[in-house]
Amino acid sequence: MTNSNARPTNILVAGIGGQGVMTAAEILAQTALSQDYDVKKTEVAGMAQRGGVVTSHVRFGEKINSPAIPEGEADLIIGFEPAEAARWLDQLRPGGAILVNQNRQEPPIVSIGMFSYPDDPVGDIAKRGVEIHSFDATEIAKKLGNVRLVNTVMLGASARYLPFSADILKDAILTRFRARKPQLVEINEQAFAAGQELVAN
């Protein structure tokens, strides 16, 4: 039995290899699946293990035929890196929202001269008049004691834009840690709460 939400929810997650982009997408997909949505997910990883660009599309709803988000129909972009967030802005639907981790990490395509890093990617996004929440999730993660918590901070920030409660997403994250690294459950709960606070207003 599928969930009755007829309109698909389209989430694009973008960043650099090693930031947790694909893990975040997997958690979102698994959480939606647990709520009886039909779910499709796809990702493109360019030299992900070496810090290349990574994107993942997560779609869920009553019936999803294709894993790729149609042009201009993303409800939410979760940008783990500001230039990557800006690069995918055209995928955002009117009225959609974008979450941006302000921590700058230039991918190899910049250092080899294939791509010029924008001077102010967050400012470029803001000029487009879209709903944007920008914050330094990396610094928040470091203050909590583990830079890998960026993933959980970003997911916490995304929770208000999902068609199920934040507690459902939080429980999905914490369940993963209870099974694999129970000593990290509490700190991930703190990181999720920190992410929620970033978009509370």
* Residue 14: φ, ψ to 5°: -135, 145
For 123, other C-beta atoms within 10 Å of its C-beta total: 12
Compute the 3-state secondary structure of the chain and give helix, strand, coil in percent, each to the nearest 5: 45, 25, 30
Beta bridge partners of 39: 60
Question: Which contacts qualify for 161-170: CB closer than 8 Å, 24 or more apart?
Answer: 161/75, 161/76, 161/97, 162/9, 162/28, 163/5, 163/9, 164/31, 164/32, 164/35, 166/196, 168/31, 168/34, 168/35, 169/27, 169/28, 169/31
Residue 48 predicted with pLDDT over 50: no
Residue 3 predicted with pLDDT over 70: no
Mean of the pLDDT values across residues 193-199? 96
Which pLDDT value is given to residue 53? 80
Q: What is the pLDDT of residues 79-136, one digit of tens each?
A: 999 999 998 999 999 999 999 999 988 776 677 777 788 889 999 999 999 999 999 9
- For the 9-198 domain, the top CATH level (class) is alpha beta
Under DSSP, is residue 40 helix (H, G, I), strand (E, B) or coil? strand
Distance CA 137, CA 82 (A): 11
Is residue 62 within 8 A of residue 45, CB to CB? The reply is: no
Alpha helices in 79-162 (DSSP H): 82-87, 108-111, 121-127, 137-144, 150-158
Distance CA 35, CA 154 (A): 21
Residue 46 predicted with pLDDT over 60: no
Distance CA 75, CA 107 (A): 25
Distance CA 161, CA 141 (A): 21
Q: What is the pLDDT of residues 155-184, one digit of tens each?
A: 999 999 999 999 999 999 999 999 889 899
* Residue 71: φ, ψ to 5°: -55, 125
> How is the chain split into domains, by residue range?
9-198
**Helices 137-144, 185-198: inter-axial angle, 10-degree rounding:** 150
Which pLDDT value is given to residue 55? 93
Which pLDDT value is given to residue 200? 84
Beta bridge partners of 57: 12, 42
Which pLDDT value is given to residue 7? 85
Which pLDDT value is given to residue 117? 84
Which pLDDT value is given to residue 2? 43
What is the residue-averaged pLDDT of the chain? 90
- The structure's pTM equals 0.91
Residue 1 predicted with pLDDT over 50: no
Is residue 46 within 8 A of residue 70, CB to CB? The reply is: no
Residue 6 predicted with pLDDT over 70: no
